[in-house]
Structure 1
């Protein structure tokens, strides 16, 4: 066939004016402009796109979030450093080979130093861009540094921070100086900008046997950089055990790479930050502040993998004598934090516990804060120079017990059984006068040593704060021993706890801690019998109530009314450590003149004890201080160690993640979030202004929607709905829904459906003497009641039609019924 001249000319012109890259559009969303030597890859929703420049090297020169490029001119590239020589994929002189495949596009022949070659592959997977990097090493190498790759963002303001996949976070504003660098042993991150609501998730997938690490830094070009390193073995720190180094670009020590191939795959995904990290509908509470506080201060205490604390990565510190790390995990509801917390406790068990059961009290990146001879340069654990702060014993047990409730991992708990027993027994045996109260390792104030978290207050001998925490540890661990099947140990620890409680509540004249003349619990008693700390020390008095030591209603009122009156008179936004001054001889000179530091300043770290105490007594006061903390966050971000009593301005170089604990108490003690090892629990203390609270919570693999109003608590999942006016716990396994009145350990009611349909139940009366409920879903059910009187007669009313049943020798009975509509049940003992 021949073309006529005019038609042929037209076709030639038509082809000439087509875009140069048109023929290269091999995969939807991937465009290769061979003239410009640029590849543009965009997700179908256009929320995320990248541009790869392979004209003079190989570099991702643009990464756009909703059309806005967030990278600096340096872009994203790979590379390595050998000695003083740097090599980068951005400076490759040889030709890059581009191959368009049916599903992806590949760039190969990326060679930027002798013996090192790379291949980059890109593809789309739904709303994700997948970037595969394969690097071949022709020989063994000793490297100073590596970029696998290095992401260069425009500046420190592109992101507020990044949520790391070990549950921690990098806070961009704290990389203040050039080359300030923070390094961690993991590679996944979700960066976010709170103002725009935009987020970028980078999720790595690596082959078994390889290790990934990341460094976050402030570059000389004022960029915010994120460098990932893929190595044959976990990296060591360059400077002592520092995860953060000031004004030094290198955080990791040099390392060896063996001849062979290293491959990593990164999934890049746009994240709607507000949606992904939503706290739900929180009437009366600023949900945005709650989210930001927990994602910054609340996560900041994670120093690295297996190092979870409260002092955080800027100072490279953590204190084991803090019992609220698992509680922070409860509020964060982040499986990455929870998993890291489990590993952290494993690490404490394995390297921070001495053979006799004593648990070292601190971790730090270098020596200098320790009792001479106690610092382990390899592990970082040691005894604090201020004294033997033996609430590390109780902190470990409390955290382990509460961590178990978050995971339900009985086998994990079993690996901590012996160590928790050793930790408790080490402390229990410290009762030389056999009065039920354990004693510290310092005897009196003349020694000028500390014994607990207030480490420059010379609390000695019989310390009420440590004893109160021991009571909480014993109470929690008693339940763990029961679950593990050791009834004798459970009985023993319960008896020790009861004896401690009795002694604790005795008047000071009889060896206890209650000082009737001042209507408060005192702090400690020296071995000469002298009483100290009668200056209304708040953590001690709050702990006595919060942990259940003080169950006398009159005493509670005397303490809490007094504290509220005094805090209100000073217009304090939160509680100070003490209201009146210690005596000079009772504290370090750094606490003088009053109010100063641990002698009267405001430490919100212990706020959860105050919230828990007031939630039992006056919910409005509890909520007031939660609201105060939220307002304070709006002023300064709550990134301080403490607050001045006189100015109420933030003080201290250290940032304490524990400042978030009043918000963790919002979840635990106001919303009543009480996840348990085998169920989800709800124990709210709500006010009417919070009615209509609704948020999602994931526990043991089930996503719950919780709707909370006064005397109306609703728990929903894909498998069931339970509504109740009283506190409860529930879970569904297979087709069986279990209901736990009062969120206690026994599932009194079990409803097993014939089909997999969701079960809808309303609890009308939860009392075991008269239990009533309605089933509002249609199905055939087997209903089992347990925990009743053994071998006893009961009547069951089903829509007011009675039938009599008899429990077996274990106090159980079952009936089977088909419900075609709303069916009402009442069970009474005859």
Structure 2
């Protein structure tokens, strides 16, 4: 067939088609008029599509670096009524092709039946490296539809892509669409599909007019294709089967919906992405950076069930436990603003739907009833109390997630909207200290009730539960700081005081009402209302939490606990920590935990790995790194696609895949690389081993990209507007022309540097000790320096390149220095004798 290439301005006329053209590059757009196909290629040739308008509308090829990733079905649109399905690529006459001002337009297509007719137009244009595609529909009537596709992408098979990163922070993992018609449906449109072997990725960005809603389903077709089907509707789609986002063996995940007479438009951008470059984790000596990238883009994101539902079980099981404190921390490591945004709306929804007027935080969300205490399941919202007992850790965990989410978003207005709810959640548990000993009691009193009170939901931890109380201490500490930010010093002092009282009581020996066992050199799990003590079988989350959250700061106790745990783990050659090292008593657990080691009585649950890493990071970094590398090796073996691991065989067990298994790697970022974002600054508090020297990666916080270079006692943070080098951890922020340095990443400002408009500031902190401060400017400009947090009205000696003078601090404890720096300039400020 003759191939016509457009190079200059000309006009073609042919039967049924009118075409007007302006100059385009010959290799960008090619027309085969007899075959009625159009090939559009991005200028870099990494992406091209072939459109076939011989029988309606069809994209029959989508080529990534020359490879067609589509099945023969291609990409098309369709609707389905109760009477049948009608496709854009059926036999159709009267198709008109036009080109005007760079826009290629297909019009004239109509499909449907007597009840509803769709008049559809497709428009294409090149915008940089993107192929922009408009789908414009005009509905003849208002009616109900069973299904639609606007459009449907039919990829060749489920191995074309490893998965897709969704624009709500989540992901679809192709391997979990195991059976024909297994389908996952979410209320968002944008997705980046990637191939982890080639590094090729396809980004699909979507946009529609205000007032319309986009949804997408991902499915395993009867032809073993991987399909992506998008919807544009007037109202958000309901689920067809209860609240299920994932359904097995059924392609119709969404309920029927109504469309209105009139015009609907979807804008689509198709773009090739270099996955290795775009999602690079940088240079991570001593760490498998590829495994880190893949783990966080799969397991880490898998807990996003949908918009407003971020958990750590995941979308296959349609489950979320509110009694887990690490959702925002996972977002910190994933480092995706879409996850952070969705986490904020998740907490908004939980505030509105999962927190009772009393302040009680319902502990779970699920798509169907059956796991609840009778009468507690809300079929509309999906929130309920777990059947195993009132899992009280949902109280502190809601507050922990809210506090840590605030540090990521920096949105004080959002935090204020959660202030009352967090205070009520904490107050609900504070009131449960019936005997006023500083420790908060559960709703179950003793093991005879056979009820749970925390995440280990088939272990009968009762009354005074050390695990819940440890999480409560963390929540109180974090929330005291939030109250301070919100300007309520009185409440901040109150919550800090409650935390201190809890800490004092927690650390008492068991004979005095605390949780410390001098005999076994560990913290016990719980005490029943009759005073009997339970859980002295070296329960790892309990002991790790006590250290990680700062309840235990006794170095001797820390050594006794951590040395004991490591010796036991080495003896059994365990790749990760079990929930407990010795058996619970049979009456302390559900029958499903027997005989030991089995399930929550001794199996390996990596979900709580971050507590172990945080506990060891300041004690023995070598141990922390060992378990970080172990979990990365395990990911490469099996994708961590399990609930837990058998203690004896160390193989994956359980169908309920847990995204919380990623927390060992979130701790790599928080507790080893020291990524500590704060609401008003970026912070780093590294805790490195020499084997990690030379780590270099970017981190994006609130749309600012920070370049980090980390070695032991050598830390550099850079952006497009500043660079700070220091031997110790610090925080920094720059607004307009003012750079603020926070020593140790604490809340008190140490130094502010005022520079000229749009000037890049480069500096090195030499030392920052009380009454002795030194820094060096390596960028030239006229600066004003303000050293803060000093004693008011005191003389300080200021040396500038060894030339000294005395300056007195003002009444606010600030010392101001103005200096023109034409070359490298060193400053030393010391308190005068």
Q: What TM-score, normalized by structure 2, do the two folds share? A: 0.97
Render the CA deviation track for 1:380-421: whole Å, top value 9, x for unaligned: 000000000010011100000000000100000000000000
Separation in 1 of the partners of 2:4 and 2:58? 21
Aligned to 1:368: 370
SS of 2:470's equivalent in the other structure is helix
Aligned to 1:127: 129
Q: Contact 2:4 / 2:31 at 8 angstroms: preserved in 1?
A: no
Deviation at 1:696, TM superposition (A): 0.2
Aligned to 1:109: 108
Deviation at 1:32, TM superposition (A): 2.3
Separation in 2 of the partners of 1:784 and 1:617? 36
Q: List aligned pairs for 1:129-278, cutoff 5 A.
A: 129-278=131-280
Aligned to 1:819: 821
Unaligned runs of 5+ residues in structure 2 are: 13-20
Separation in 2 of the partners of 1:563 and 1:20? 73
Aligned to 2:80: 81
Aligned to 1:3: none
Aligned to 1:419: 421
Separation in 2 of the partners of 1:21 and 1:786? 68
SS of 1:590's equivalent in the other structure is helix
Separation in 2 of the partners of 1:431 and 1:806? 51
Aligned to 1:283: 285
Q: Contact 1:359 / 1:392 at 8 angstroms: preserved in 2?
A: yes
Aligned to 1:673: 675
SS of 1:91's equivalent in the other structure is coil
Q: Contact 2:221 / 2:227 at 8 angstroms: preserved in 1?
A: yes
Is residue 434 of structure 2 the alignment partner of residue 401 of structure 1?
A: no
Deviation at 1:501, TM superposition (A): 0.1
Separation in 2 of the partners of 1:701 and 1:409? 13
Deviation at 1:768, TM superposition (A): 2.8
Deviation at 1:283, TM superposition (A): 0.4
Q: Contact 1:674 / 1:682 at 8 angstroms: preserved in 2?
A: yes
Unaligned runs of 5+ residues in structure 1 are: 1-16
Aligned to 2:30: 31
SS of 1:288's equivalent in the other structure is helix
Aligned to 1:749: 751
Render the CA deviation track for 1:594-642: whole Å, top value 9, x for unaligned: 0000000000000000000000101111011101111111211111100
Separation in 2 of the partners of 1:103 and 1:529? 80
Aligned to 1:558: 560
Aligned to 2:624: 622
Separation in 2 of the partners of 1:38 and 1:221? 25
Aligned to 2:43: 44
SS of 1:349's equivalent in the other structure is helix
Separation in 2 of the partners of 1:613 and 1:646? 25
SS of 1:120's equivalent in the other structure is strand
Deviation at 1:19, TM superposition (A): 3.7
Q: Contact 1:58 / 1:92 at 8 angstroms: preserved in 2?
A: no
Aligned to 1:11: none
Separation in 1 of the partners of 2:3 and 2:350? 62
Higher alpha-carbon deviation: 768-777 or 410-419: 768-777
Aligned length: 814
Q: Contact 1:755 / 1:779 at 8 angstroms: preserved in 2?
A: no
Deviation at 1:318, TM superposition (A): 0.3
Separation in 1 of the partners of 2:685 and 2:91? 62
Separation in 2 of the partners of 1:30 and 1:378? 50
Deviation at 1:102, TM superposition (A): 2.6
SS of 2:179's equivalent in the other structure is coil
Separation in 2 of the partners of 1:18 and 1:271? 33
Q: Contact 2:308 / 2:347 at 8 angstroms: preserved in 1?
A: yes
Aligned to 1:4: none
Q: Contact 2:3 / 2:30 at 8 angstroms: preserved in 1?
A: no
Q: List aligned pairs for 1:390-469, cutoff 5 A.
A: 390-469=392-471
Render the CA deviation track for 1:249-272: whole Å, top value 9, x for unaligned: 100000001111000110000010
Render the CA deviation track for 1:445-484: whole Å, top value 9, x for unaligned: 0000000000000000000000000000001000000000
Separation in 1 of the partners of 2:704 and 2:69? 36
Deviation at 1:20, TM superposition (A): 4.6
SS of 2:818's equivalent in the other structure is strand
Separation in 1 of the partners of 2:568 and 2:618? 20
Q: Contact 2:391 / 2:452 at 8 angstroms: preserved in 1?
A: yes
Root-mean-square deviation (CA, aligned residues, Å) is 1.0
Aligned to 1:700: 702
Aligned to 2:542: 540
Deviation at 1:33, TM superposition (A): 1.6
Q: List aligned pairs for 1:351-366, cutoff 5 A.
A: 351-366=353-368
Q: Contact 1:591 / 1:598 at 8 angstroms: preserved in 2?
A: yes
Is residue 24 of structure 2 the alignment partner of residue 58 of structure 1?
A: no
Aligned to 2:18: none
Is residue 69 of structure 2 the alignment partner of residue 70 of structure 1?
A: yes
Query: Which of 512, 517, 521 is matched with 1:515 structurally?
Result: 517
Deviation at 1:798, TM superposition (A): 1.0
Is residue 109 of structure 2 the alignment partner of residue 93 of structure 1?
A: no
SS of 1:416's equivalent in the other structure is helix
Q: Contact 1:21 / 1:34 at 8 angstroms: preserved in 2?
A: no
Deviation at 1:21, TM superposition (A): 5.6
Q: Contact 1:92 / 1:110 at 8 angstroms: preserved in 2?
A: no
Deviation at 1:814, TM superposition (A): 1.0
Separation in 2 of the partners of 1:406 and 1:259? 43
Separation in 2 of the partners of 1:127 and 1:791? 61
SS of 2:601's equivalent in the other structure is coil
Render the CA deviation track for 1:227-277: whole Å, top value 9, x for unaligned: 000000000000000000000010000000111100011000001000010
SS of 1:225's equivalent in the other structure is strand
Q: Contact 2:5 / 2:29 at 8 angstroms: preserved in 1?
A: no
Query: Which of 376, 379, 393 is matched with 1:377 structurally?
Result: 379
Q: Contact 2:92 / 2:109 at 8 angstroms: preserved in 1?
A: no
Q: Contact 2:797 / 2:829 at 8 angstroms: preserved in 1?
A: yes
Aligned to 1:577: 579
Separation in 2 of the partners of 1:400 and 1:84? 48
Separation in 2 of the partners of 1:74 and 1:754? 60
Separation in 2 of the partners of 1:754 and 1:61? 56
Deviation at 1:750, TM superposition (A): 0.3
Aligned to 1:7: none
Higher alpha-carbon deviation: 783-792 or 498-507: 783-792
Separation in 2 of the partners of 1:75 and 1:408? 44
Q: Contact 1:244 / 1:251 at 8 angstroms: preserved in 2?
A: yes
Query: Which of 756, 770, 786 is matched with 1:784 structurally?
Result: 786
Q: Contact 2:546 / 2:552 at 8 angstroms: preserved in 1?
A: yes
Query: Which of 621, 631, 634 is matched with 2:633 structurally?
Result: 631
SS of 2:219's equivalent in the other structure is strand
Is residue 319 of structure 2 the alignment partner of residue 311 of structure 1?
A: no
Separation in 1 of the partners of 2:783 and 2:417? 39
Is residue 338 of structure 2 the alignment partner of residue 339 of structure 1?
A: no
Q: Contact 1:437 / 1:462 at 8 angstroms: preserved in 2?
A: yes
Separation in 1 of the partners of 2:364 and 2:4? 63
Separation in 2 of the partners of 1:767 and 1:673? 23
Is residue 318 of structure 2 the alignment partner of residue 325 of structure 1?
A: no
Separation in 2 of the partners of 1:246 and 1:451? 32
SS of 2:50's equivalent in the other structure is strand
Q: List aligned pairs for 1:643-722, cutoff 5 A.
A: 643-722=645-724
Aligned to 2:796: 794
Stretches of 4+ aligned residues off by more than 6 angstroms? none
